Amino acid sequence: MRDHYCWPTGFWYDERFWNDDPFVSDEKFDNFNADQKTKDFQKYLNEMADNYLGNHMLVPMGCDFSFANARLNFENTDKLIEYFNKHNTANITLFYSTPGKYLDALHMQNLTWPVKYDDMFPYSDNPQDYWTGYFTSRQAAKKQVRDGQTNLHASNFLYSMKAIQEKTTDAEMKEILAAKDGVLDWMGVY
């Protein structure tokens, strides 16, 4: 997707991340910006159109951990949709949809999709941010870390349980600490 899977630039309306200027469609206000926002959104859609087959496009209006202020998001998106549909200069209609409806609309167009036979990696979601080997590299090391963390957690638990018991001897505590040190040595933690 063009912008990861987040809002287009200039249309982020969640104060948890940052607030772009709100969509102001009332011309009585000094900060009226609906015409410019409509042009910006239309430009965004035109630039993105080459990346899509058919005459439907999916534009996510949200992102990870978003909608902390859902009211703010929906109010601005509602204004964008209403104003854009009345004032855009292209044959474009905006509306709320779902992934299922989007896929149904594409299916009804009987499009022929390209088939990719090679691996999608190396994948980059930002300049210099490659996911090469994300799923496949260092499987043994990853398993060793998981196993070590399991053993370390268990030894910490045992140590804590023994430490709060009054009848635990110093020899037992030393034995538990030695086992815990053995786990840390095995994990390469010093």
- Report yes or no on 108 lying in a domain: yes
Tokens of 79: 């204004």
Q: Quick one: 171 and 90 in the same domain?
A: no
pLDDT recorded at residue 137: 67
Q: Which of 11-15, 92-96, 147-151 is the most confident on average? A: 92-96
Q: What is the pLDDT of residues 161-183, one digit of tens each?
A: 877 887 888 888 777 777 766 65
> Residue 91 gets which letter from DSSP?
S
The Cα 76–Cα 23 span in angstroms is: 6
Name the token pair of 175. Answer: 């034995």
Q: Based on the domain organization, do 111 and 180 belong to the same domain?
A: no
Question: Do residues 106 and 150 share a domain?
Answer: no
Domain that holds residue 103: 13-115
Is 108 in the same domain as 144? no
Residue 105 has pLDDT above 60, yes or no: yes
| Domain co-membership, 37 together with 93 | yes
3-state SS assignment for residue 89: coil
Does one domain contain both 18 and 110? yes
Q: What is the domain count for the chain?
A: 2
Q: List, in sequence order, every residue forming a beta bridge with 50; answer none if it has no partner.
A: none
**Residue 186 clears pLDDT 60, i.e. is over it:** no
Task: Name the pairing type of β-strands 18-19 and 129-130.
Answer: unpaired
**Residues 41 and 95 occupy one common structural domain:** yes
**% pLDDT > 70, the chain:** 83
Q: Please give the structure tokens belonging to residue 144.
A: 């060793």
pLDDT band for position 144 (50/70/90)?
A: confident
Give the model confidence (pLDDT) of 18-69 as tens digits.
678 889 999 999 999 999 999 999 999 999 998 899 999 999 888 887 878 8
pLDDT at 172: 80
What is the value of pTM for the model shown?
0.63
Mean pLDDT of the chain: 82
